[in-house]
Amino acid sequence: MPSDRRTEWTSASSTTDPIYIVPQYGWERAAWFAFHILASDLTTSGVAPQYITMDWNLPMDIEDDQIETMLQVIDRESKKYGAAIVTGHTGRYEGCAYPMVGGATFLAIAPKDGWVTANMARPGNHVLVTKTAALEATAILSNTFPDLIERTLGAEVTERARALFDSMSTVDDALSAASIGLRRGGVWAMHDATEGGVRNAVWEMAQASGLGVDVNLARVHVDPAVAAVSKVFGMDPLDAISEGTLVIAVEPDAVSDVIARLKKEGMLAEDIGHFTKRGQACRDQGRPLKPADRDPFWVAFSRALAGEIS
């Protein structure tokens, strides 16, 4: 670990998860998503990945050119964010099946106090939410059931919904927000809105930080295509899985700078409220804020597979 008399270094962040590959997305898209699932977990610390290890345990029937395509994408994305793949393994094995085809670790090292975690929100921090609610739910449903959605909503909405796939990452959101400053510099905590969507992500961040929160979830942006697809599938967008949507806890004085930086990078961010003192309740427009019992995406996906949505 690097050190000198001017900078005190500490292990800042790491994440280890399965390598998640869905061939139906296309090999390039599938590899891109696999990389960004892992990188999104790590970059919520405010630090870009630096070192990567990958262990690929692939099915016997995968072709060499398909492996090459995936590895080229992983290499491209690693270089884009300045990360080095330092070790790994690739092999075909009996009994291995999609979507879990191995595991990977992403690691970053940063100066002391040069990173954040989801449990570091402070009273008075504003709550920013990027992009749109139900981003992942909409992207997955529209790319898995495009004919169903096109019959109901038309080609234009279907293409808009399918294009959201390429936004299913919080890497750029997190690094852009962090560039304004971490901790007293501006950003105190970040959390991606995966299972349970935005409502659950806000609640989880408050719980992890031991704080209350006072928000207006009606301020969360819902893309028109998301709203349309959610209606077809009977989902509340605020409760649906939303990989690619980032919840950020920001010092009041830094809110405008963070929003402006995200906008400059092409990402919308809405200020939906603030964290309150320890022991206070979690509220949405004065009412108790409570996550849904179950993410509606899974019900919608199962019903669509069974032909129950038309």
Q: Is the pLDDT of residue 5 over 60?
A: no
**pLDDT of amino acid 12:** 58
Q: What is the pLDDT of residue 88?
A: 97
Least confident piece of the model among 4-13, 50-59, 180-189, 283-292: 4-13
Q: What is the mean pLDDT of residues 112-140?
A: 96
Write out the DSSP string of 229-266. Answer: HHHHHT--GGGS--TT-EEEEE-GGGHHHHHHHHHHTT
Predicted confidence at residue 10, as pLDDT, reads 64
pLDDT at 1: 47
Mean pLDDT value across residues 136-163: 97
Averaged pLDDT, 93-117:
94
Report the largest interatomic distance among the alpha carbons of the chain, rounded to a whole angstrom.
66
The CATH homologous superfamily for domain 126-305 is PurM-like C-terminal domain (3.90.650.10)
Higher-confidence residue: 52 or 4? 52
Q: Where in the chain is the domain with CATH 3.90.650.10?
A: 126-305
Percent of the chain with pLDDT over 90: 92
pLDDT at 257 over 60: yes
Q: Which fold does the domain 10-111 belong to in CATH? A: 60s Ribosomal Protein L30; Chain: A; (3.30.1330)
> pLDDT averaged over the chain?
95
Q: Where in the chain is the domain with CATH 3.30.1330.10?
A: 10-111
Tens digits of per-residue pLDDT, 201-227?
999 999 999 999 999 999 999 999 999
Give 152-174 pLDDT, tens digit per residue.
Answer: 999 999 999 999 999 999 999 99
pLDDT at 6 over 60: no
